[in-house]
């Protein structure tokens, strides 16, 4: 059995040295994986609530959130053994080719230790600030995952499908 940890990326107390120390100590102690989650900002007046539960307040720690992929890149640079991954990467908020490139770069820098976990996301506010209709989150996530998988399999990304989210062929 492998036990993993979520990296400290929430809250104003997180520092570079603290994050690096966490990664290095987790590796020394034999933890098998290090994980990040994706959130963009803290909504002051959330409509969707926390974790898609209207009326439930978003925790204060979310006022300061380190970016998921950049945090994961740092963890890859500071460690050599643990699997690194995204427990939640809101795929529909990303352009597929750019996301595939970012993930391939992290996978290369980590010597193949990356696991990318996608989600539809729960925050209507995060979708809206990215000009994404939250009602399309499921279909967008499916399309993004398929495009990223296609690009990572070594197949050439040909402009054969029209991505309705971007409005042109990708």
Helix axis angle, 96-109 relative to 137-152, nearest 10°? Answer: 50
Task: Give 105-127 as a DSSP string.
Answer: HHHHHTTS-EEEEEE--S-HHHH
Are residues 144 and 94 in contact, defined by beta-carbon separation less than 8 angstroms? yes
pLDDT in tens, the chain (170 residues): 899 999 999 888 899 999 999 999 999 999 999 999 887 766 666 677 666 667 767 777 666 689 899 999 999 999 999 999 998 888 777 788 888 888 989 999 999 999 988 887 777 777 777 677 777 777 777 777 777 766 655 443 333 333 445 444 44
Measured in residues, the chain has a length of 170
Residue ranges and CATH numbers for the domains of the chain are 4-169 (3.20.20.30)
Are residues 117 and 145 in contact, defined by beta-carbon separation less than 8 angstroms? no
Helix axis angle, 68-78 relative to 96-109, nearest 10°? Answer: 20
Stated pTM of the model: 0.76
| SS3 (DSSP) at 104 | helix
């Amino acid at each position: 059995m492998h036990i993993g940890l979520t990296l400290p990326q929430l809250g104003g107390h997180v520092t570079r040295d603290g994050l690096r120390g966490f990664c290095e100590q987790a590796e020394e102690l034999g933890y098998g994986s290090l994980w990040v989650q994706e959130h963009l900002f803290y909504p002051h007046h959330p409509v969707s609530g926390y974790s898609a539960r209207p009326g439930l307040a978003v925790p204060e720690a979310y006022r300061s959130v380190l970016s998921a992929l950049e945090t994961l890149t740092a963890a890859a640079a500071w460690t050599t053994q643990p699997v690194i991954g995204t427990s939640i990467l809101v795929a529909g908020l990303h352009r597929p080719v750019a996301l595939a490139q970012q993930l391939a770069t992290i996978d290369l820098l980590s010597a193949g230790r990356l696991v990318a976990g996608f989600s539809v996301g729960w925050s209507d506010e995060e979708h809206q600030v990215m000009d994404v209709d939250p009602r399309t989150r499921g279909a967008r996530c499916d399309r993004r995952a398929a495009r990223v998988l296609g690009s990572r399999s070594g197949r050439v990304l040909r402009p054969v499908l029209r991505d309705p989210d971007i409005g042109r062929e990708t």
